[in-house]
Amino acid sequence: MDKFTKVTGVATPLMRQNVDTDLIIRIERLVDNVTREGLGPYCFEQIRFKPDGSEDPDCIFNQTPYRDAPIILSRENFGCGSSREGAVWALKGMGIKAVIAPYFGDIFNNNCFQNGLLPVALPIHEIEQLADEMTASPGNARITVDLENCQVISPTGRTIPFQVDARRQHAMLNGLDDIALTMSRRDEIEAWQASDKSARPWVWL
Amino acid sequence: MGKTLFDKIWDSHVITDLGNGFVLLHIDRLLLHDMSGGKALKEAIDKGYPPAQPRLTYGTPDHTMSTKPGRDEFTHPPGLPLIKSMRETTSAYGIKLFDLGQDGQGIVHVMGPEQGLTLPGTTLVCGDSHTSTHGGLGSLAFGIGSSELVHVIATQTMVQRKPKRMRASFEGKLMPGVTAKDMILHLIGELGTAAGTGYSVEYAGSGVRALPAEARLTLCNLTIEMGARTGMVAPDDTTYEYLNGRDYAPKGAMWERAVAHWRTLPTDPDAEFDREHTVDMKNVAPQITWGTSPEHVIAVDRAIPDPSKGPEEKRGAWEAALQYQGLEPGKPIEGTQVDWVFIGSCTNSRLSDLRAAAEIVKGRHKADHVTAWVVPGSVRIKAEAEAEGLDRVFTEAGFEWREPGCSMCLASNGERVPPGKRSVSTSNRNFVGRQGPGARTHLASPAMAAAAAIKGAIADVRKM
Ligand code: SF4
């Protein structure tokens, strides 16, 4: 899994509530034989493209300086809806490294941590102010998301702390998904198994 | 303070505390089936994690296989790549596969207990939500999702949070015509499908103690239908009698040692539960579902509920369910014409289920307009039933006697109830489209299903 320590860049204000996983990636794209990495071009396709397949210039993702932005700002309940892990793969494929929202869909939030995409929960008034600072000086404004120190630095230099579960922070900083994290405890697992083999030998076929 | 059965098993499987309520839990048994088994193994291997404990891992094809008499893996072609990938991945890592046609093949929740792979005090997982079935033998068993499955393959552990504890006690004796299936449907009817969310359930009380082992598996099978991932019955002499001598159960001195350990597992008298619920067995009659959720259930001698008289928050769901099912509120459910009868699934396809159905069928014939299937849960059950002549009881009555598999429980194998047709099924889900697009399902016990096939309509088994 990719490590996440810090990202600095443009943040796209996608200021709507309930951005669901269906909007992020259509289920058909996951059935078609597209690789995880290849999902990027289909991310948010329902708002990025017109029905005829051409780019919609009104969509913020198609406007400078947001086209290659690594961060998304959004409102409540980002990533709600179906449990598809493809939503996270698609965002990553589009170059997104972090999403900032008041809170996230439960399973989406979990899936982010399995794939090195950082979901940052901040109060809505902070996000609104970040969006204002972004749009106030388009082209120059940058946001930093710093996982090591658990803080967001706004375009005007304000620092805003955020919280993250210590176990997950460690995993993201070191690029470990749940399996890798568990594997780092192999000695403990083997010790447990060795003692269980003498306590309950009948379990060990 | 004393400990519950659940706590004893859980606590003894904690490898380490991960903080924030999470623990790393050891998994003693991993069961794989064709729908997700080969895919999950391949994903783990591709990620660089070969199976951690192939000898604690077992597989069998059931979900996507045809159950047509004389079937093989080619009978339902969409299942072919799944069974092929399962064969390749299991054989590459020395995982025992109970393959089509072999002794031991069957529905994963039927063959596990039958082979003695399911043991009291073990943790057991499978990528199927009805894994709670195995709790009938005192195993802490639950269904898991696809990424969890890969994690177990790779590490033989799971990262889990401990659920709360609920005890459902059944007090008294079974009334005539009533089975474990009716007990659990009745309970879900009383509590609703969300009551168990976040809980582990222990089934207890004199009514549960008196149940044979196979009936306890049926009881635990539907635990997920009230929202709980795991349901258990404490092991006792009934459990040990059932397991003694089974293929993978311990033998000789090891058996004695295991039983001595298992006797320490039942809930201590002073242990506490977060929620308690008691059912008086006097109130449990033969059940039949009327709607599209297992909580839409009534005693067979009752009238179809009227949404306008139901709880306000359920009115919309009830109306939609009645419309889908093509039923009129207020009418007796008994006598509703039936087109299909399915006796099978991990809920009710064991030898005792087939015997109960055969007892009703014997010397009678199914109604002409009904298609009736009997799908034994495993190769071994099929052979045992044939040795007793049950297959002939069914075929002489006009039923089809088929090969082991999930079949019409979920319609992922080409076997479906046609659109708009009404079925009485011994399976566990009456969701919209579960038995096929537009299919109308009524869940009931094997004897009730057999009675419906004979009468050609929903019938009260007590009158047969
Ligand atoms: S019989 Fe039905 S519920 Fe049981 S394992 Fe098969 S598909 Fe799942």
Q: For A173-184, what is each residue's pLDDT tens digit?
A: 999 888 998 999
Length, in residues, of chain A: 205
Beta bridge partners of B374: B343, B401
**Closest CA–CA distance from residue B85 to any residue of chain A (Å):** 18
> How many residues belong to chain B?
464
Backbone CA torsion sign across B329, B330, B331, B334 = positive
Note whether B246 contacts A: Cβ–Cβ < 8 A: no
The pLDDT value given to residue A71 = 98
Residue A2 has what pLDDT?
Answer: 84
Q: Look at residue A108 and tell me whether its pLDDT is greater than 90.
A: no
Residue in B with minimal Cα distance to A203: B28
Q: Is the pLDDT of residue A60 over 70?
A: yes
The residue type at A79: G
Closest by Cα among B234, B217, B28, B39 to B130: B217
Q: Does A114 touch chain B (CB under 8 A)?
A: yes
State the average pLDDT over residues B367-385: 98
Mind listing the domains of chain A with CATH numbers? Answer: 6-174 (3.20.19.10), 177-205 (no CATH)
> Which chain A residues are Cβ-neighbours of B261 within 8 angstroms?
200
Has residue B375 got a pLDDT over 90? yes
Q: What single-letter DSSP state applies at residue A45?
A: H
Domains of chain B in start order, with CATH, are 5-163+249-258 (3.30.499.10), 165-235+267-283 (3.40.1060.10), 287-463 (3.30.499.10)
Rg (CA), chain B: 21
| Residue B307, CA atoms < 13 Å, CB-side half-sphere | 15
Give the ligand 1 atom nearest the CA of B349.
Answer: 1
The predicted-structure confidence for B396-409, as pLDDT tens digits, reads as follows: 999 999 999 999 99
CA of B62 to the centre of ligand 1 (A): 8
Q: State the closest ligand 1 atom to the C-alpha of B410, by its place in the atom list counted from 1.
A: 7
The CA-atom distances, in angstroms, between B90 and each of B43, B49, B403 are: 13, 14, 23
Tokens 């690029």 map to which residue?
Answer: A175
Mutational test site, ligand 1, from B109, B349, B402, B412, max ligand atoms within 8 Å of CB: B109
Calculate the average pLDDT of chain B.
96
Q: How far is the CA of B344 from the centre of ligand 1 (A)?
A: 9
Q: Whose CA is nearest to atom 6 of ligand 1?
A: B406
Q: Tell me the residues of chain B between 123 and 152 that have a Cβ less than 8 Å away from chain A.
A: 145, 147, 150-151
* Beta-carbon pairs below 8 A across chains A and B: 64
Q: How far is B97 from chain A (nearest CA, A)?
A: 15
Answer whether A182 sits within 8 Å of B122, measured CB to CB. no
Q: Residue B135 in 3-state DSSP?
A: helix
* pLDDT, tens digit, 9 for 90 and up, residues A110-160: 889 888 999 999 999 999 999 999 999 888 999 999 999 999 999 999 999
For ligand 1, pick from B373, B409, B413, B431 the residue to mutate: most ligand atoms within 8 Å of CB.
B409
Inter-chain residue contact A182 with B159, CB threshold 8 Å: yes
Backbone angles phi, psi at B142, to 5 degrees: -150, 155
Task: Take residue B70 and report the two structure tokens written for it.
Answer: 């004389």
Tens digit of pLDDT for each residue in B79-91? 898 999 999 999 9
Tokens of B454: 């004979």
The neighbour count for residue B23, using CB atoms within 10 Å, is: 19
B107 within ligand 1 shell (Cβ under 6 A): yes
Which range, of A36-40, A143-147, B144-148, B316-320, averages the lowest pLDDT? B144-148
CA of B148 to the centre of ligand 1 (A): 19
pLDDT at A31: 57
Is the pTM above the cut of 0.90? Answer: no
- pLDDT at position B186 is 98
Distance from CA of A183 to the nearest CA of B (A): 7
Write down the ipTM of this complex.
0.93
